[in-house]
Amino acid sequence: MKNLTYLLLMISGVLLTVSCNDSTTDEFEEANGNVENKLIKSISTISAQNSEENINVSLTYDSDNRLSTITDGNDISIFVFDNGNLSSITGPGENFNIEDLSQSPYDAFETGQVLEYDSKGNPIKVLFFEEEYNDATGEYENIELTAEITYDDEHNPYFYTLEAAGIIEILDDIELNFSLIPQSSEIVQARALFPVSNPSKIVYKDELGAIVYIVIVDYVYDNDDYPTSATVTASSIVDNEVGVYTITYQYIIP
């Protein structure tokens, strides 16, 4: 498993200026109305095929309900705040990535270019490139793929956790100065790719439009429309392989 939800890697190493007509919070509230604030405490994934793929990711928060750590039991990421704002993330621990949570082998939500949005503002068609080995040439080459994403009516359950991590502010904010990885273009990209609803199906197609991989997530929701569990079916059409995973979510109310 690569990195676990999806925006915590999108921290810039330079001075950034990011602006949008509506804030991420505005878009989330416009799409979902009033949502109960719940913070993710843990996410456990159990593979039906291979127990070595099982993982439990735990999150802790400080007295101000800011995200402090994310750990998979081996590695840990520590969130450092300065004057109430996220200043750095240290350590190699697991982070959030939507496609990793869905047991997808691709990274469209990290590197993709949005081709189409739905009426709520969710990206529903994303173009990206994947490096694949060509047996004929003996070299790696970039293959063009598209991801077509379907969403449940329920809200993105990671929103308030990302807010507690300072990530939502990063997506909206002006003049942020960090000492971590990517470039400002990746912040803009993350903002464009941010979904306000909960993804439940991703269909990947090659440059000819043939389906190469399908991820379907069947959620069980609580009374506040947060998922408590999910069954993930990940199907590789090319390799004719199917993986089934069970995910369990736990929350705290700040």
Structure confidence at residue 17 (pLDDT): 29
Residue 8 falls inside a structural domain: no
Amino acid identity, position 85? N
Tokens linked to 1: 């498993």
**How much is the average pLDDT of 18-40?**
84
Residue 2 falls inside a structural domain: no
> Who's near 53: CB < 8 A, 6+ residues apart?
1, 45, 47, 245
**Confidence label for 10 from pLDDT (cuts 50, 70 and 90):** very low
**Measured CA angle at 158 (ends 154, 162), to 5 deg:** 145
Residue 11 falls inside a structural domain: no
Is the Cα dihedral 94, 99, 103, 107 positive or negative?
Answer: negative
Q: In the chain, how many domains are there?
A: 1
Q: What is the pTM of this model?
A: 0.82
Of 17 and 60, the structure prediction assigns the larger pLDDT to 60
Residue 109 falls inside a structural domain: yes
DSSP one-letter string for 70-98: EE-SS-EEEEEEETTEEEEEESS-----H
pLDDT tens digits along 166-187: 888 877 764 333 334 444 566 6
Structure confidence at residue 187 (pLDDT): 67
pLDDT tens digits along 93-126: 544 455 454 556 677 767 788 899 999 999 999 9
Inform me whether the pLDDT recorded for 44 exceeds 80: yes
Which domain does 39 fall in, by range? 24-252
Residue 86 falls inside a structural domain: yes
Structure confidence at residue 91 (pLDDT): 75
Inform me whether the pLDDT recorded for 138 exceeds 60: yes
Residue 183 falls inside a structural domain: yes
Backbone angles phi, psi at 101, to 5 degrees: -65, -25
Helix, strand, coil proportions of the chain in percent (round to 5)?
Answer: 15, 45, 40
pLDDT tens digits along 45-98: 999 998 988 989 899 999 999 999 999 888 888 898 988 888 888 876 544 455
**How much is the average pLDDT of 190-198?**
86
- 24 vs 189: CA distance, rounded Å: 13
**How much is the average pLDDT of 189-199?**
85
Structure confidence at residue 72 (pLDDT): 86
Residue 195 falls inside a structural domain: yes
Residue 32 falls inside a structural domain: yes
pLDDT tens digits along 201-244: 999 999 999 999 999 999 999 999 999 999 999 999 988 999 99
Is the Cα dihedral 45, 90, 13, 177 positive or negative?
Answer: positive
